[in-house]
Structure 1
């Protein structure tokens, strides 16, 4: 037997012909044992009756890979549709997410600072003007593949001093007065515009938000006031849908977007599955089966790729279980010889948005994110168990730090009876004499330490992000080290 076939899990079993041995080797029948089951062969070719099975496997593999590829695009498309259908947002409106309830729909939202977010379809507006007021903000503009187009605020060109930005659709030329703006060229027609207010004073934050303006460049002489909306308690979800709904959302958004050169092979896979730009969504029964199976397997692989990262650089400290969750080398997701497909899939399954500030390596600027999916023994974090996290004194954050708990299934803030998902240096936590802090997670609060506790939900797994805002040198040189999450009796 060919040793390469044996190494790949293949074997050949001869089948007796009616005369014992075929006189014509090309017509000899045998069976090839493959990872998808036995394949009847006629000589070196698959038997005719095996061809449908092979095509079904091809369709399943295409659907699985297309699912993983499309995660960032479907996430934004879902989020945009939920804002529109459930929260009443129109093109260019801003949604203000402040409370725990407001943020329950955002994948891995931070629970500490307000979000101000809006989706804009440049098909409708043309070039877009953004007027950011001066003040402590962090945000930016991203395209619908969740590539950062430009940062705004402290990590943007305005450096917190405010300014005017001009977002250009794909192929648009800068106007004559382009020098009056910070220019941002989008590769997609739909964009997300968002920022966070970092000032801890709610009144100052509100005043800053109310100064923000966003309008079509064509209306610059007399722009309409930007509408500010709130979810007002309405339930919504930005988590990518499952099953056929995933593909329906993908089909809908690709109708409105140009095809990037890097994605043409994936578009070919989708076309063979009944999803094509300019054509209705009408997969055959066989295609539908492949799509449903591909979405199921794709999400399983996404979970492994996210919650058990195998990227060499993911584990931040070699003797700790904390991951550097954002492993995209730069916001464009592009390295010299390839684009980061699997790093991108991992981040955009568990999170949304990406800016330069989120991957900043400059002490005192931006944010950093550490993720814990297991306890110190490597076991998944169980909502029915009690855990403790020891945070050593002097966490390396110029602004503040926070520890936030998420539901592993939805990747959104944990939806618990306590109605709380985070602990942070902006809260009144009980400290140890040396300045360290012990945080607790479990179904019940430790006696006398309720202020240091987040309630978890039995029957559900959870994971957590430890965020450092404006991380200092001790984080980058790793002289400060965070303990693992430890199960307690």
Structure 2
């Protein structure tokens, strides 16, 4: 082993930015090898002399590093490249300057474990060196892995690579190299940052290795000195930084002996000075213009508007589908006269019930009555919500009327009049809202479907002002209509959000967003008409918002059973806060709410009483569900429900029923469902049914991934004490 002098890089840097915390965040982001943003790093390492080398020559290496995120093959990836520009001592000419070998890495980002991020992928070294003294002359392949764990005090991580040569110049030494780079970032005050990122090299071909040391006795050298200029304004988008590494070390130069006669001049000092001046100039030039700041503000606040506003946009999209594609109107009922099929493109709906929706508007008619019949000859599972899809009450046997029937009275904001006797008052803080009303099915037979529809038409919706002589409720059948309320992650998202802002009062808890929405052109009482440049920024913001929501959805699942792939449908923190009307003084889980309404709709007041849901994104082995493969779920006997259970498949991208499929689910209501001798049921999912299992088969699209939801209506104790366990879905072929 050749002992290198101090090469455990310690960095103390001040990043130029408007604020210390922003500086810390930007430097950490630029230092994090898994930052999912287009990133450019400029680094310069200057070696003033080589220890125990005649003439003590100097050397320099300038590194251009970049990072490009992508989702090729449907997987989050980070493509990383490093291109060195080296100046090295050379005998007898003095110095050689040119490009080094290009290193390419492609990290596949794995699911997070807590706050720990993992990436692994292939590595390729291209022999692009312009001189043999500054390159290997070999094509190399290998693998790279990185782990990063953000800490309150900074960043902790490691990068490991292995590379071996497989082609190239025959007379050059083969490459068989292992490297390990610990990553340590410590945030200090006022934007200062202490960093260590040593690289340990193990030459498995020659047996030599290089393990950097923090301290060394000989030559009186104790540590490296780094000078860094970090352009934080740019780093927030590109992570740009320029480093100069001043070190003394022992290093073999191209395997040759270097004498003092060979080195007559010192051009490196001029080069390093020029690079440092470039760094300072880059910092000065990175200040944002007013136009750039305005543009960045629009995009940044558009992202936050997406996360905050998606429950209301979700609601508005459903309302607009009813108003534009059917004859239905507010304070009436739109319904589907058959169990739902793929034409209903709402988010994760239930295809094993008759669906009815009553969109209410109290602004023009005052309080609105939703009259639910007693559970005699049928029953309703109902949920009544406001525009933000916060539950006002549940209806039916598991709701406030407990199956006796009831008159639910939706009151407008600020309603002060006395509520008449005989009503269940629901004080709403918005004028709009809706009731999702599911008429339960005994089976999927035509007779039972007709019976369920007939019972559902006993529902009534009318203004309280006409309660003495209620008008006949209008029912509009949407069966066969492509009712598409999937979230549109484009500029139209903000058109929907603006409609809600214009029609609804500001809630006290949301007033902080008023000025933020103004900056993206949404202001109460004013038209929303963004110019082309703002529309482009809004498009960028909504796409980033979608990526954020999808990432949180993918990584934020909470298992219902220990070490299970079945997860809670909603984060318990969100459920608690929503059921309490978001009235907790120290909590308002907007982020969790945003994620929830990116894949579902409606709110449930008594989750677990009338219904409970489990969702799974992956099979037993932890792999995403692929529509081209076949899976099996074995539902154990004695499912803990008083009504029925079902399994439904949804498109992984849209969270809606998979388009153009003959059916979307299988449930205990299916008369010809095949059971095993012990009472369990094997359900199959895939593009083709296993032979003889058509009755138990749910079709999937072979071109797309999917996810599944297991529903339990009127669940019993065995579900919640987990004495009954639903196994994971297994891949069988």
Same fold (TM over 0.5): yes
Taking structure 1 as reference, are residues 233 and 9 closer, same or farther at Cα in structure 2, changes over 3 Å only? closer
Distance (Å, rounded) in 2 between the aligned partners of 1:482 and 1:308: 22
- Distance in 2 (CA, whole Å) between partners of 1:484 and 1:265 is 43
Per-residue CA distance 1:74-113 (angstroms, 9 max, x = gap): 0110100100100121121201123334862221111111
Of 421, 426, 432, the match for 1:184: 426
In the alignment, what sits opposite 1:22? none
Q: Is the contact made by 2:339 and 2:355 (CA closer than 8 Å) also made in structure 1?
A: no
Report the secondary structure of 2:489's partner residue. coil
Looking at structure 2, the residues matched to 137 and 317 of structure 1 have their Cα atoms a distance apart, in angstroms, of: 29
Correspondence 1:424 to 2:706:
no
> Is 1:119 the equivalent of 2:318?
no
Q: How many Å apart are 1:346 and its aligned residue?
A: 2.1
1:90 aligns with 2:329: yes
Is the 1:13–1:30 contact (alpha carbons within 8 Å) kept by the matching residues of 2?
no
Give the alignment of 1:139-158 within 5 angstroms. 139-158=382-401
1:18 counterpart residue number: none
The Cα shift of 1:256 comes to 0.4
RMSD: 2.6
Q: 2: CA distance between counterparts of 1:129 and 1:204? A: 24
Determine which structure has more spread, i.e. the larger CA radius of gyration: 2
Q: Hey, what's the Cα distance between the residues in 2 that align with 1:334 and 1:443?
A: 46
Question: Which is richer in helix?
Answer: 1
Alignment partners' CA distance in 1, 2:682 and 2:725: 14
SS at match of 1:265: helix
Question: Who is 2:409 aligned against?
Answer: 166
Aligned to 2:312: 73
For 2:594, the equivalent position in structure 1 comes to: 345
Q: 1:282 to 1:317 in 2, by over 3 A?
A: same
User: 2:483 maps to which residue?
Assistant: 236
2:708 alignment partner, one of 434, 454, 464: 464
Give matches, 1:317-336, under 5 Å: 317-327=561-571, 328-329=575-576, 330-331=578-579, 332-336=581-585
Partner residue of 1:32 out of 212, 231, 235: 231
Shift in Å, 1:208: 2.4
2:303 aligned to which of 57, 61, 64:
64
* Alpha-carbon distance in 2 for matches of 1:142, 1:46: 52
SS of residue in 2 equivalent to 1:321: coil
Q: Structure 1, residues 286-333: CA drift from partner, whole Å, max 9, x if none? A: 4222210111111122122223325xxx21112211110122224335
Structure 1 residues 265 and 369, CA gap change in structure 2 (3 angstroms): same
Q: Does structure 2 conserve the Cα–Cα contact (< 8 Å) formed by 1:103 and 1:111?
A: no
> Match of 2:368?
128
| Aligned counterpart, 1:451 | 695
Q: Do residues 442 (structure 1) and 682 (structure 2) align? A: no
Q: Which residue of 2 aligns with 1:484?
A: 728
Runs of 4+ residues deviating >6 angstroms: 11-15, 39-46
Tell me, yes or no, if the aligned pair for 2:328 and 2:475 is still in contact at 8 Å: no
d(CA) in 1 for partners of 2:30, 2:454: 67
Q: Alpha-carbon deviation of 1:475? A: 0.8
Size of the alignment, in residue pairs? 466
1:8 equivalent among 28, 42, 55: 28
| CA pair 170-247 structure 1, distance change in 2 beyond 3 A | same
CA offset at residue 334 of structure 1? 5.0
Contact 2:330–2:359 (CA<8 Å) still a contact in 1?
yes
The structure, 1 or 2, with the larger RCO (C-alpha pairs under 8 Å, 6+ apart) is: 1
| Structure with the largest fraction of strand | 2
Q: 508, 526, 540: which one pairs with 1:293? A: 540
Tell me the TM-score normalized by structure 2: 0.60
The 3 A distance-change label for structure 1 pair 394 and 286 is: same
Gap regions ≥5 residues in structure 1: 16-28
